[in-house]
Structure 1
Amino acid sequence: MKHKGVKYYQKTNFNIVRKLTFIALSLCVSVACMLHLSAKWLYPTFLNYAKMQTNKLSTALVNKAIQTTILKDLKEDEIVEVTFQENGVASSVEFNTYSINKITSKVSSSVYSHLKYVEEGNIEKIEYDKLGLEVDSNLLSKGIIYEIPYGMALNNALLANLGPRLPVRFTLLGEITSQVVCEVTQYGINNALIEVIATLTIKMQVVIPLATTISEMEYPIPIAIKVIQGVVPTYFQGSNAIDDNFVIPLQ
């Protein structure tokens, strides 16, 4: 009888272990399925929202760079040099490449350094209070630029703030690149519009738990805009119609 009791006890233990193993495997499969469904249906929404918050931060830092660099150091006459004739009519327009590159380099360097400060959590170096961001400074000090409530993916205003919060981080990918375009176009009847625009391209990797995406943003920055008045024409016909009353003045 003793021998049979031991066998029964061992068989019972084996059944319990087998059931526990089955339950554990079932839980693992269920969790894996839930993560897969979240990654397929919910995470695209989270990533889009994370990119939007990253763009908002980048825009604030670009605007700060414009205020502290371009508006402070810019002298338009050093950017665009216009030569006039004796009668006051513009004869040529030259762009100061050195000054343009200098200003563009300062802006790019300012934006890059401030983004690195945020990435590393050194918010005391970016004058956070002046950026106008709705982010807790304690989060920024940890390198977290935003926390997305899980209920945000449900598209329901009542449930938007429910559930766990996903921290949003970013990593700069390479340097900030810039491209400068100088254009002279017709403006009005007899004027010329001169524009010097620098476009900054910022590439970042946006990271949330279990997902990541690449965000590439372009920011056109007007460095100089100037209007030059030309010779006022004696006659101007704005339509394609033929004017039978047109008369050439006698000298």
Structure 2
Amino acid sequence: MSDTATPDNTLTQAAQEAHGAHTTPSARPSKRDIDSTLSARLAALPTPKLRDEYGQQSSFLYIEDFLPRDFTERLIAAVHDVTPAVNRNYLPGHKAGGSVSRHTLDKLAPFIADLYRSEALIKWLEALTGDRLQLSPEDDPHAYALYFYTRPGDHIGWHYDTSYYEGRRYTLLLGVIDDSSCALEYELHTKTPGVPDEPGSVRYPPGAFVFFDGDKLRHRVTPLGENEMRVSLTFEYVTNPNMRPFQRFISNMKDSIAYFGFRQVFRRNRGKNGQA
């Protein structure tokens, strides 16, 4: 079930308050400035130690203080800018919440697209994984997206970020707003033979970083409480951008029903066919 592009009054008020509580960012930085700022930040991290930790945890890593503060401020501002475009979905027994796809972010919050494409960030993630990472295809609404938890009970149940691509798909989560009691709960090693499952839980604040192989980490987000709000940003990177036609159909239907609505998911196909 979906409430397509229906603004949530509670969300609007909360987003305005969150935006107003922070300094308004200056003009949008250039891609070169984004790369330069991220390069400096990433150079200060103990990458070899983090790479070892990532491997020991079966392709999972959490860093509480990751983004430069200015970048976090810009993401919070983006929440305010895209609030009217949130598409809410409810799937009984699985999830409830709102989403804004990369197609809408391209129009309303282009800083997010620039951050997603940062060469400095991608090279650093490649150092963690040992894989050559590529951007998700332009027609993938999940490539970068904002996820909103704004009504009591909003959550997502246990799942894997299953890749429909022919290669691996990696998920990067960035905290944007977290005025909530929600937790990201997960289980490590579920796909590692001979290694016991290891449960864990994090509540990632604004600017925090979570990174994992989507096919390996079983995880969920616990339900939102009263008068709470949580917004996170997701980036998806792949090792092979090819997808078979049937897998593409399954992926599109899942995204349409569970996240972004049919209009957002199939908008490019309509455009190619000459339909508005």
TM-score range, shorter chain: under 0.3
TM-score, normalised on structure 2?
A: 0.23
Asked which structure has the greater CA Rg, the reply is: 1
Structure with the larger helix share: 1
